[in-house]
Amino acid sequence: MKTVITTDLHGCSLEFRALLKQAGLMKSEDTLIVLGDLFDRGKHSFEVYREMQALRDGMGERLILIRGNHDQFFLDCLEDRRDFSLWMYNGGGITLESFSRHGVSLNDVGDFLKSGMYWYETEQFIAVHAGLVSENPEENSRDILLWDRSVTEGHYRGKLGIGGHTPMREPVWFMPDGNMLLLQYDTGFSLPDRGFICLDTGCVYGNRLTAMVIEGERCTLTGMRHMDY
C-alpha cells in the first residue's frame, strides 16, 4: 500500500488522470491525498469534479481532500454573493462556464468541497494546502493553512509539511536549516522528517502536475506535463 499526494489541479483533468496512472495508484488499497485547488483557471473543472466523485465512490475514506484557497472562494460565494468579484478575479469565471455547460448544480459541488479538511496529519507528515508556522496543526490559523507563503522563505523548522499553493518550476524541499533543495523526478529518496515540501509545479500555467508517491520511508516524485487540448 502506498500514499499518493498531488495538489493544485486547477481544472487540469487529463493531466490528473494520467498522473494517477503514472503514479500507479491502486484504488482498491492505496491512499490519495489531494491538497486543494481543484478548480479555477483551467478549462475542465467539471471533469475534475467528476473524476473526484468517482475516486470518492471507489476509495471512500482513503481519498483525503484538503481545502485550498480556491475551494474556499467557491464556498464563500455560495454563502455570500459579495465575494463573487474576488472569485472571478481569481479564475472563477471559467469554472462557472465549465459547470454550467454540463448543467451541474453549484450547490452539489459545494457539498463535495465542504468535505475538504484544512489539514491532515500522519506519523510522517502534515498535509496542508498552503503553509505552516507551527508543527501543531491546530495552532495554525485558517489563513495560514489556505494562503501562507512564508514556508518559501525557509522559516519553518517543524515536522515535515507537504503542500502546494505557491507555483514552482520544480518541486522543492525547504530544509530545516533554511536552505532549499530542488527534488528530482523518478529518483527515490528517503522521506525527510522536517521542513516543508512544495508540490505545486504550475500545471495550469503550462508546466507540470506533480505527485509524490510514498511507500514506507521512501518516496518518489512523478510529473505529468501540461497538455494542449
Domains of the chain: 3-225 (3.60.21.10)
Q: How far apart are CA 130 and CA 145, in angstroms?
A: 5
What pLDDT shows up at residue 198?
98
What pLDDT shows up at residue 65?
98
What pLDDT shows up at residue 155?
87
What pLDDT shows up at residue 36?
97
Positions of the chain with pLDDT lower than 50, given as ranges:
none
Q: In what order do the strands lie in the sheet with 120-121?
A: 120-121, 126-127, 161-163, 196-198, 172-174, 180-182
Contact 79, 106 (CB under 8 A): no
What pLDDT shows up at residue 229?
60
What pLDDT shows up at residue 84?
84
Q: How far apart are CA 166 and CA 148, in angstroms?
A: 9
Q: How far apart are CA 117 and CA 126, in angstroms?
A: 12
Q: How far apart are CA 41 and CA 39, in angstroms?
A: 7
Cell of 103: 448543467
pTM as predicted: 0.96
